[in-house]
Amino acid sequence: MRSAVMLSLALTAGVLFFSAPATAQLFRYEMIDRETGRSIGPIGRGGLFGSPVRRTTVSFDGRRYSPGSIVINTAERRLYLVLDERRALQYGIGVGRDGFRWSGTHKVSAKREWPGWTPPPQMRKRQPGLPAYMPGGPDNPLGARAIYLGSTLYRIHGSNEPETIGQAVSSGCFRMTNDDVIDLYDRVRVGATVHVYLK
């Protein structure tokens, strides 16, 4: 009996010894998407602790909106997922820079995991160094998820640049950290209404 206990302790110690460094390395360097098993990117580049704005449930006058709707306030640089008449889930976002902000109402027309990116011609004209196409992955500017808005060129998407959350730097899309956009992606449905306000 004693030898069996000792063997069990030795095996347990061995598992802890060999698995602990691997686990520590995983969380030190990168965040793994729980659904796909793919890397979302290093911590500090859109990982678990990347967003300067904490995702939280807030009081919200949702009487004008149906639950599941998205309300974006570009002046606040916040996105709200309406939960009910009195509450919403609030996320920090990055918005369009001067001359690229817009308002309107659209439907979520599609959702993509690890989307590829085809910069539109007008963007490539402004930035000639952009590729014609970039496949999806941790280095793609669209990040881990993209939520497409109607037939527009605009998306709500992830980003590996958490320092841009709360800033106006995009060409009209709405940026979120990868962990926040995955959370939103899992909650929102295709067909949901998205209201974008400048104030």
Structural domain includes residue 75:
yes
Structural domain includes residue 3:
no
Q: What is the pLDDT of residue 32?
A: 56
- The pLDDT of 84-98, averaged and rounded, is 97
Model-level pTM? 0.75
Q: Which residues are catalytic?
A: 157, 173
Structural domain includes residue 50:
no
Structural domain includes residue 81:
yes
Q: What is the CATH number of the domain that holds 156?
A: 2.40.440.10
pLDDT tier at 124, thresholds 50, 70, 90: confident
pLDDT tier at 31, thresholds 50, 70, 90: low
Backbone angles phi, psi at 22, to 5 degrees: -65, -40
| CA end-to-end span of the chain | 72
**Looking at the 3D structure of the chain, how many domains does it have?**
1
Structural domain includes residue 144:
yes
Q: What is the pLDDT of residue 36?
A: 65
Residues spanned by the domain of 191: 56-197
pLDDT tier at 24, thresholds 50, 70, 90: very low
Structure tokens at 127: 């930035």
Structural domain includes residue 148:
yes
Q: What is the pLDDT of residue 13?
A: 36
Structural domain includes residue 166:
yes
Q: In what order do the strands lie in the sheet with 87-92?
A: 56-59, 87-92, 78-82, 70-73, 193-197, 104-113, 145-149, 155-157, 174-175
Q: Over 90: is that where the pLDDT of 146 sits? A: yes
Structural domain includes residue 20:
no
